Amino acid sequence: MSETQRLFERAKRVAPGGVHSPVRAFRAVGERPLIVREARGPYLIDAEGNRLIDYVLSWGPLLLGHAHPAVLGALREALGRGTSYGFSCEAELELAELIVEMVPSVEMVRFVNSGTEATMAAVRLARAATGRDLILKFEGCYHGHADSFLVAAGSGVATLSLPDSPGVPSALAALTLVCGFNDLDCVREQFERYGERIAAVIVEPFIGNAGLIPPLPEFLPGLREITREYGALLIFDEVMTGFRVHSGGAQALTGVMPDLTTLGKVIGGGLPVGAYGGRRELMELIAPAGPVYQAGTLSGNPLAMTAGLATLKTARAEGAFEILPKKASWLADALEAEAKSLGVPLSVTHAGSMWGFFFSPNSVSNFAQAKASDVRTFAKFHRAARERGVLLPPSAFEACFVSLAHDDAVIEETVEKLAAALRDAIQG
Ligand code: KE4
């Protein structure tokens, strides 16, 4: 039995499925999980000492790669001053000011400890600000595991959403409407039917949780126009797209300004973090400035703030926001060209420092099309890539990332190994 299997058998005795987040069980690709011993630069080293070029990058946070000296140095210095204060500190102030400077629509921000907390709080704030109860989300968009988001579309626009997980009350699920991503007709229809009751539309402006699915050009402007017409708020969940598709997020890239934005991942530099922010008159409804309650023991944790600050400052200083898109397009274009030469139906996309692909002959613009892609070939490709030392997200419904640590030599090595893995995957 390998060290990974030994450790995983132990883990399964004390944690559900042996993991602390479902995707890490590698069930979608039918592989043994990964138990990481160390991470450095572009690499993860597993319990057997295998070195993997990592394109998961902690599911987005690691813009600079693993264990970047600037982040470790800042953390070492902060560690000497304690791990948590339970009160305000300068690091949270400095990071809040940097986020306000970088994210165009954010005038004020509140830190929390995960993306889930951020989206939960943003929805509560939207309901308080509008006095309305309904929210509208999109199939394939993941906003964390709060009950209101774990819903499946009803059989048609007329039917209310159903719980998408046991434990979610139907009464609560019924307060979440669902449309297809990029389907403005559905959004209009929902607003015609329920418009006066809809507090907010929440959307991943580029979906990163169904694979990478970009918005059609008219989609985000359409959401902005419809929500404005009916007095509902528009929430951009930029937990993943923030500082990834652009230094100012999808709102800076597309010019569509939401009322509220949720953030996470990159702003913690790999430590637990989330944030929500937006227009001042909305954010000042949040306690203690206003009546809407939200709190958190470790909100603004000095170590997470320090890691986030070091990450964003170093990223700006080293030109990450100009350099990383080129790396992502290099990988995407090379993979697309290889698939074309092999006659493999592969739809590849990239946006800023995110990239993704579906084994599909057509481009993918919504979750139904993503689900229709060939996930069996994806699993074969994933396994063949991992055997060659390249780690892609262990699900067809995740996004890939790049970091400053993925230098030209690493990218060239990856291109070569993915080409070989693709040939393996189609051998049968
Ligand atoms: P967390 O609660 O996991 O910090 O954030 C939830 C969340 C909210 N919004 C978006 C757009 C997100 O991508 C996420 C979390 N992303 C997943 C990646 N598919 C986290 C990985 C996991 O669940 O293990």
Q: How far is the CA of 56 from the centre of ligand 1 (A)?
A: 12
pLDDT for position 157: 62
Residue 160 has pLDDT above 90, yes or no: no
Query: 243-294, pLDDT tens digit by residue?
Result: 999 999 999 999 999 999 999 999 999 999 999 999 999 999 999 999 999 9
Q: Which of 176, 142, 52 is nearest to 370 (CA)?
A: 142
Residue 158 has pLDDT above 80, yes or no: no
Q: Which of 377, 397, 387, 379 is nearest to 420 (CA)?
A: 387
pLDDT for position 152: 87
Query: 213-235, pLDDT tens digit by residue?
Result: 999 999 999 999 999 999 999 99
On whether the CB atoms of residues 264 and 363 are closer than 8 A, the answer is no
Please list the active-site residues.
142, 237, 265
Residue 332 has pLDDT above 80, yes or no: yes
Q: How far is the CA of 265 from the centre of ligand 1 (A)?
A: 8
Mutate to test the pocket of ligand 1, among 239, 245, 299, 397 (most ligand atoms within 8 A of CB): 239
pLDDT for position 162: 86
Neighbours of 13 (CB within 10 A): 7
Residue 428 has pLDDT above 90, yes or no: no
Per-chain mean pLDDT for the chain: 97
Residues enclosing ligand 1, CB less than 6 A?
A: 21, 23, 59, 114-116, 119, 142-144, 204, 208-209, 237, 239-240, 264, 274, 398
Query: 383-424, pLDDT tens digit by residue?
Result: 999 999 999 999 999 999 999 999 999 999 999 999 999 999
Q: Which of 54-63, 90-99, 157-166, 258-267 has the lowest mean pLDDT?
A: 157-166
Ramachandran category for residue 146: left, alpha or beta (phi over 0 → left; psi -120 to 50 → alpha): beta
Write out the DSSP string of 340-370.
Answer: HHHT---EEEEETTEEEEES-SS---SHHHH
User: In whole angstroms, what is the distance from residue 370 CA to residue 375 CA?
Assistant: 9
Share of the chain above pLDDT 90, in %: 96
Determine which residue's CA is closest to atom 23 belonging to ligand 1: 21
Neighbours of 192 (CB within 10 A): 11
Give me the domains of the chain, ranges plus CATH numbers.
3-67+319-427 (3.90.1150.10), 69-316 (3.40.640.10)
Grouping H, G, I as helix, E, B as strand and the rest as coil, residue 286 is strand
Determine which residue's CA is closest to atom 24 belonging to ligand 1: 21
What would the mean pLDDT of 168-172 be, rounded to a whole number?
94
Query: 363-372, pLDDT tens digit by residue?
Result: 999 999 999 9
Q: Which residues, 6+ apart, have CB-to-CB distance to 4 below 8 Å?
A: 32, 33, 34, 35, 46, 47, 48
Grouping H, G, I as helix, E, B as strand and the rest as coil, residue 398 is coil
| pLDDT band at residue 161 under the 50/70/90 scheme | confident
Share of the chain above pLDDT 70, in %: 99
Query: 1-42, pLDDT tens digit by residue?
Result: 999 999 999 999 999 999 999 999 999 999 999 999 999 999
Residue 84 has pLDDT above 80, yes or no: yes
Beta strands in 265-346, from DSSP E residues, in sequence order:
274-278
Query: 111-150, pLDDT tens digit by residue?
Result: 999 999 999 999 999 999 999 999 999 999 999 999 999 9
What would the mean pLDDT of 44-48 be, rounded to a whole number?
97
Q: How far is the CA of 42 from the centre of ligand 1 (A)?
A: 21
pLDDT for position 154: 72
Q: How far is the CA of 75 from the centre of ligand 1 (A)?
A: 24
